[in-house]
A = this chain, B = another copy of it.
Amino acid sequence: MERGVEFATLTRIVIEHVSPAVDGGLFAAKTSVGDVVPIEADVFTDGHDLPAACVLIRHDDADWDEAPMVPLGNDHWRSQLAIKEPGTYRFRVKGWIDTWATFRSDLEKRRGAGQDVAVELKEGAALVSGAARRARAAGADGDADRLKEAASVMRRKDTAAGTTLALSDDLHALMSSHPDRRRGAAVSQELEMVATRERARHGAWYELFPRSASPDPARHGTLRDVAALVPDIAELGFDVLYLPPIHPIGRTSRKGPNNTAAAGPDDPGSPWAIGSEVGGHTAIHPDLGTFDDLEHLLAELKRHEMELALDLAFQCSPDHPWVKQHPEWFRHRADGTIRFAENPPKTYEDIYPIDFETKDREGLWRALLDVVLFWVDRGVPIFRVDNPHTKPFAFWEWLLAEVKRDHPDILFLSEAFTRPRVMEHLAKIGFDQSYTYFAWRRTKDELTQYLIELTQGSVPDFLRPNLWPNTPDILTDQLQEGGPAAFRLRFLLAATLGANYGVYGPAFEHMESEPREPGSEEYLHSEKYEIRPRTPAAGGLRELIARVNLIRRGHPALQHDRTLRFHPVDGDQLLAYSKTLPDGKDPVVVIVNLDPVHPRSGWVDLRMPELGMAWDAPFTARDLLGGETFSWTGARNFVELHPGHQPGHVLAIEPGEGRTP
């Protein structure tokens, strides 16, 4: 708060509101390869002098580079930074008074007003001479000579010729090459941005329980069985295969079907009750296979350009080796027993939470870090983190930094279905992606407001949403009641609203919709507690999934979130939005019928400039989903969607005269 004065140097430029800056620079902003980040700031000075600004930027340990900023009006400036490499980008905004631009602008006004400019030209000549000296010092002798000559012309009696030269584009270009950036200069604080590999930005996730993957319903599925499914999942167009915990499962207090308290001898238990006498977080469940099988699965995924995501659930079954080896890592009750997991009055007798407040904090935390590094070393590139919000923020901040220091390409998805500030904070401290409330956002208003919150403003500077219509924990009432049309609708929304989205695949493909009991979001016979072998799914959803994922690949606009824009459309059941690439190319418009029962029609009013077109321009809208081609002109166009037929239009927009196919 102490803001002293320096009489020796005079800072006249003010630089404010530099962005991206998460909580004023307390946290690094997020970006990813292929993104274009607008670096913006308010840059201004007192009086009538004209400021200029640039971004000083440094990628990892490279030299500082710089990029010019352009004024957008109202003292706001911007530079667009295209992210081509992952790594850390440090940046500052620098501003100075552009003496030459100020002189030039004044001279133009004076000439316009017919004022005598003889003295001004002499002053301008001094600026040009200064640039000549700087050019000479920089070894640009050619420029120096030309500048020197220009200065001498401006000093002559012929003020008309001097003015013409002073205002010439040639001289302006020369002066811009040798600017004087000292006057009134200021530089902002240094800010940081972490660029992650492209998969952080977009991907289609598919979750399955490997123990259900056996083609023989009588046999426990294995990682080899999962590997055998990979070609099919890849053909559906998914990028990431996510498996719930693959570790040994405890026996003590094991849960039976539908989360009942007492498991029978053949009940497999919850994969999240991690650890048995066979091993803990670094072991593979014997029934799932071996590390060789994991290696085979990883190879099969690689062959299909897919990646594996494992579950990171930092909790133990009562049979976990740590319970005996490190009893101090668990919280003991007043009667000496270890406290099982609970969220009063709910109880999870098959799980002991880890006590992150243990006195042996360092030992515990390092052991958990070793767990992550163990799987990283075996080639696992992505982790889906179970309930991170029930562990200290400080732990995650430390762990993620430790892992990413040597392995910056490892990605972490935060599964924190909790309050907004908590979800946001987990993103700020380093999670690459976050589950969202998407599953419960249903109406036009809810979807619009929530997606604007996630993709506009400051949130996308630190949080990358991952949209899931279902998970093994979440079977929404809409999916329970809406029939196939609801599944189609929710899938289309997730896959086109979110650059990252995922499905709990087998249950989704089979449109499983029966809840454990009325009012519950749990699946009946949840795979969390039972093995659920399935025959191949029918019903057409697979075709939609494959087609939409293909569209996502063919239209990279859908691989970006920040360009999401909503467009006005009639009624409360039609939703219209668009995405483009950061440079505005590849415009795609999606129009969805949110009503899974009734056909809906109405007029959409496209915000044409968002699509790179004039308000009255003719264009072709090719429905990538339905196959039709519409020749439209201008913003206002009629749409009609039948839920039985298709959930929406996914329109590739091609400016120019419309053609009928």
Q: State the Cβ distance, A98 to closest chain B Cβ, in Å.
A: 15
B334, B343, B421: which contacts A42 (Cβ < 8 A)?
B421
Within 8 A of B (CB), among A461-494: none
Residues of B within 8 A of A24 (CB): 23-24
Q: How many whole Å from A434's CB to the nearest CB in chain B?
A: 15
By a CB distance below 8 angstroms, the chain B residues around A260 are: none
Asked if A46 and B389 sit within 8 Å, CB to CB, the answer is yes
Query: Chain A interface: which size bin?
Result: 35 or more
Asked if A392 and B46 make an inter-chain contact with CB atoms under 8 angstroms apart, the answer reads: yes
Residue of B nearest to A183 (CB): B357
CB <8 Å contact, B335 and A422: no
Taking the closest CB of chain B, its distance from the CB of A10, in whole angstroms, is: 6
Beta-carbon contact of A16 and B421 below 8 Å: yes
Say yes or no for A219: interface residue by CB 8 A criterion: no
Q: Are B12 and A23 in contact (CB under 8 A)?
A: no
Q: Does A3 sit at the interface, judged by CB under 8 A? A: yes
Closest chain B CB from A191 CB (angstroms): 8
Bound: A335/B155 CA distance, A: 12
A255 and B14 alpha carbons, distance in the complex (Å): 35
1/0 per residue, CB under 8 A from B, across A381-399: the answer is 0000000011111100110
**A109-117, A285-293, A446-454, A565-573 - the one binding chain B:** A109-117
Chain A, range 112-136, C-beta contacts under 8 Å to B: 112-113, 115, 119-120, 122-123, 126
| Chain B residues whose CB sits within 8 angstroms of the CB of A112 once the complex forms | 345
On chain B, the residues within 8 Å of A12 by CB distance are 357, 392-394
Determine if B421 and A46 form an interchain contact, defined as CB atoms under 8 angstroms apart: no
Q: Is the CB of A334 within 8 A of B119?
A: yes
Q: Do A10 and B356 form a contact, CB below 8 Å, given A394-B5, A397-B3?
A: yes
Q: Does A60 contact B (CB under 8 A)?
A: no
Q: Chain B residues near A192 (CB, 8 Å)?
A: 1
* A28:B1 contact, CB within 8 angstroms: yes
Identify the closest chain B residue to A155 (Cβ). B334
**A406→B122 CA distance, assembly (Å):** 46
What is the bound-complex CA distance between A484 and B76, given in angstroms? Answer: 41
Verify A123–B46 contact, CB threshold 8 A.
no
Q: Which residues of A contact B (CB under 8 A)?
A: 1, 3, 5-7, 10-12, 14, 16-17, 23-26, 28, 42, 44, 46-48, 74-75, 105-106, 109-110, 112-113, 115, 119-120, 122-123, 126, 183-184, 192, 333-335, 337, 343-345, 356-357, 361-362, 365, 389-394, 397-398, 401, 419-422, 425
A-B residue pairs in contact (CB < 8 Å), sample of 11: A1-B28, A1-B192, A6-B394, A10-B394, A11-B392, A12-B393, A12-B394, A44-B419, A46-B390, A48-B390, A115-B344
